[in-house]
Amino acid sequence: MKSKALAIYIHIPFCVKKCLYCDFLSVPATEKTQEAYGKAICQEIRNYKKSLLTKNLGVPEEKEESIVTSVFFGGGTPSLICGEEIAAILNELRHKFHFSEDMEITIECNPGTVDEEKLNCYRKAGINRLSFGLQSANNEDLKKLGRIHSWEDFLESFSLARKLGFSNINIDLMSALPGQTEESYEQTLQKVLLLEPEHISAYSLIIEEGTPFYEKYSSGFGLPDEDSERMMYQRTKERLEQSGYYRYEISNYAKPGYECRHNLCYWDGTNYIGFGLGASSMVDHIRYHNCSDLQKYMMQASKPEQLWEEVTVLSLKEQMEEFMFLGLRCIKGISINKFKETFGISYDSIYGTVTKKMKEFHLIDFEEDRIYLTEKGIDISNYVLSEFLIE
């Protein structure tokens, strides 16, 4: 039997407090609730059956055996709950699924929420990648964002992780923050690069509706102007590439061999299953997500199919669109041959016209079998990717 890669996402929705810019699904909770939630996730994993998904929709179940290549604990703040709960969830996953020998297991950590005992528990459980949500090395920036930590808290957590043997660490950074200048952002880059993390995710702040930031900054007043934001973006690429990182996706940089495997699974169309409150899944071209009501989730976790909402079988058109706008987020772009192998139809018959147009505008380019965004195309990627939606 052939094997097929599978990624697993675990959503831990708890935070000490919600950051002022955040629109993710997160809530405060007592230790008792956190413990009960961990047990509920284990129940959901234990009772998960892909056949229930495919059978209810009348979709044939693919027969390949799935091999899990990546597990990612996101949130919320996964490092908020006790290490034993994380270990118990991983043990449940190992009983239910086949793990690859070179698994990547990541957990997101907020500085100040990990200690030596917790980090040692992670290592013992098999976690081999940490992702620290720093955002800025400037304490004034962090206060404006509503973060619970300081630069000094981050340094303590990062240094402890290194001391305990973690050799694959990501740091999240944000630019275009309220009151941030090109000079202060440059200082953040400099401080972070001195630490030599293996991976850096660098994003511009997005003001999301429904957040406190939306009420305060939706007009743009108080934020860096467009030229400054553009300079921060350019400086990120320059400084990171000078320091031995390469951009493999629009907002992600890595030292060679340290690309985030979990994110690559999303971008190349690998099946993924999400466990936990509101977690999304894509299995054999079927997309769905869990409910976002915590009480309902806790009560019905033993019957996962009752948690599933907005279950949709992607049409061929939707599958091709996702192939394009996810694949083109990666700097290497998409493979023309893989498109034909996947869909049984030539690339040019579907996207020849739009590709020619984007090429004439110098927004995409070709190299042997691959089509990829140019630097100019990356700058306006939302527009370019929208052009690959089939009318």
**What CATH number does the domain containing 114 carry?**
3.20.20.70
What type of residue is 214?
A: Y
Per 3-state DSSP, the chain is made up of helix, strand and coil in percentages (nearest 5) of 45, 25, 35
131 vs 9: CA distance, rounded Å: 14
Classify 168 as helix, strand or coil.
coil
Would you state the pLDDT for residue 20? 84
Q: Given 222, 239, 265, which residue is the final one in a domain?
A: 265
Query: Residue 305 falls within a domain, yes or no?
Result: no
Average pLDDT over residues 71-95: 96
What type of residue is 331?
A: I
Sheet-wide strand order for 370-373 = 334-335, 370-373, 364-367
DSSP label at 198? S
Same-domain pairing of 155 and 241: yes
pLDDT at 100 over 50: yes
297 vs 316: CA distance, rounded Å: 32
Q: Given 234, 265, 296, which residue is the final one in a domain?
A: 265
Same-domain pairing of 237 and 356: no
Q: 259, 64 in Cβ contact below 8 A? A: no
- The b/e string for 191-201 (b: 16+ C-beta within 10 A; e otherwise) is bbbebebbbbb
Q: Given 232, 247, 265, which residue is the final one in a domain?
A: 265
41 vs 241: CA distance, rounded Å: 40
Mean pLDDT, all residues of the chain: 94
Same-domain pairing of 206 and 60: yes
Among the ranges given (35-44, 76-85, 90-99, 206-215), the one the predictor scored with the smallest mean pLDDT: 206-215
Which residue range is the domain that position 374 belongs to?
333-386
DSSP label at 14? B
Query: Residue 327 falls within a domain, yes or no?
Result: no
Same-domain pairing of 241 and 129: yes
Query: Residue 232 falls within a domain, yes or no?
Result: yes
User: CA–CA distance from 10 to each of 86, 106, 187, 232, 280 (Å)?
Assistant: 10, 10, 34, 32, 10
Q: At 313, phi and psi to the nearest 5? A: -90, 120
Query: Residue 108 falls within a domain, yes or no?
Result: yes
Q: How many domains does the chain have?
A: 2
Query: Residue 33 falls within a domain, yes or no?
Result: yes
* The token pair that represents 105 in the structure block: 């297991």
Query: Residue 145 falls within a domain, yes or no?
Result: yes
66 vs 93: CA distance, rounded Å: 13
The reply to whether omega before 75 is within 30° of 0 (cis) is: no
Same-domain pairing of 244 and 346: no
Classify 286 as helix, strand or coil.
strand
Would you state the pLDDT for residue 58? 66
Q: How do 334-335 and 370-373 pair as beta strands?
A: antiparallel
Residue 386 has a CB neighbour count (10 Å cut-off) of 10
* The token pair that represents 275 in the structure block: 């466990």
Classify 33 as helix, strand or coil.
helix
pLDDT in tens, 43-79: 999 999 988 887 667 666 666 679 999 999 999 999 9
316 vs 303: CA distance, rounded Å: 30
Q: 169, 161 in Cβ contact below 8 A? A: yes
Maximum CA extent, the chain: 60
318 Cβ contact partners less than 8 Å away, ≥ 6 residues apart: none
Of 314, 336, 312, 315, which Cα lies nearest the Cα of 324? 336
Of 131, 215, 133, 132, which Cα lies nearest the Cα of 178? 215
pLDDT in tens, 151-191: 999 999 999 999 999 999 999 999 999 999 999 999 999 99
- The b/e string for 309-327 (b: 16+ C-beta within 10 A; e otherwise) is eeeeeeeeeeebbbbbbeb
Query: Residue 281 falls within a domain, yes or no?
Result: no
Whether this prediction's pTM lies above 0.75 is answered by: yes
Average pLDDT over residues 280-301: 95
Of 355, 350, 297, which Cα lies nearest the Cα of 328? 355
385 vs 383: CA distance, rounded Å: 6
Confidence of residue 1 (pLDDT cuts 50, 70, 90): very low
Query: Residue 300 falls within a domain, yes or no?
Result: no
